[in-house]
Structure 1
């Protein structure tokens, strides 16, 4: 059961307007945002940060950003965010084959060397203690410029916040996200966990 129950989607007009962004990414406003709106300034700041971080500026595609969020959330153990990010990756063009092979990214021909470097970095940056070392950083710089690295780490850091929020709140997972978790992630051991 959720630590704090979410409010109705229309509880705060400004939050509701900003939250329309999630209709594109997920197809619904997430319960995490509906809970944050108990303090509207927090919800508004989070939505604006999310929009800035997830904005596609070029080579770090919308799909890749969601896969970075997924591997970051997996490293942190957040089932809620894993389901959301795999759903969003699919909505942004991720093929079934790529989504099902996400944990074979190191060897799968479905992933480029640049994507491998980004995903390896995201996992290392999400680990506790932090596992980013000179080799990972050097490999990242082979494929991405400084602005792109800021985007990649921005996604990882954003999901660090969300992973702690949703796991501590035991945010109830929405049915559509749960269905995508079951579809793409269950074979790797994913379950709703406490997010019921």
Structure 2
């Protein structure tokens, strides 16, 4: 497989806007470990090899365990995640798979019960952002390093 295009060069203003969104999420105070778990899980669901490669490496550098990284595809059955992480992962799946199920009230309410409203907003933006990156990378066939 080879890359189709370099979208950063073909649509630089739009690409910079997505970078701006990512910077806003990065500077929001969202827990970095939780952010990486969100990025990895959304990237698994979207089949984005580039983002999976990047974010599993980033998670490892931050001290995330192999067990928790590998367990993400079965997080609902794995005992390695906190209640907050579980709520964020459920929200990640609901937002990422939006066309099939919408975001059910029980999923949203579970997250809202564990996170402040501002945190739910930032988590939602983190999910939206990684989904944008996944779609850019998958469409352009951005290859992992």
Shorter-chain-normalised TM-score: which range? 0.7 to 0.9
State the 1:130 CA deviation. 4.3
Alignment correspondent of 1:169: 140
1:115 counterpart (85, 91, 97) = 85
Alignment correspondent of 1:141: 112
Contact 1:64 1:89 survives alignment (8 Å): no
CA deviations over 1:62-104 (Å, ceiling 9, x no partner): 1110110111122222222222222222222312222222234
State the 1:153 CA deviation. 0.8
Larger relative contact order (Cα-Cα within 8 Å, sequence gap ≥ 6): 2
Change (3 A) 1:130 1:76: farther
**3-state SS, counterpart of residue 4 of structure 2:** coil
Q: TM-score, normalised by structure 1?
A: 0.65
Unaligned residue ranges in structure 2 (runs of 5+): none
Alignment correspondent of 2:67: 97
Alignment correspondent of 1:186: none
The yes-or-no answer on 1:78 pairing with 2:48 is yes
Contact 2:40 2:55 survives alignment (8 Å): yes
**3-state SS, counterpart of residue 125 of structure 2:** helix
Contact 2:92 2:127 survives alignment (8 Å): yes
What is the root-mean-square deviation in Å for CA atoms of aligned residues?
A: 1.9
**3-state SS, counterpart of residue 3 of structure 2:** coil
Matched pairs, number: 143
Distance 2:49 2:85 in 1: 23
Unaligned residue ranges in structure 1 (runs of 5+): 7-34, 175-196
Distance 1:143 1:102 in 2: 20
Higher helix share: 2
The yes-or-no answer on 1:151 pairing with 2:122 is yes
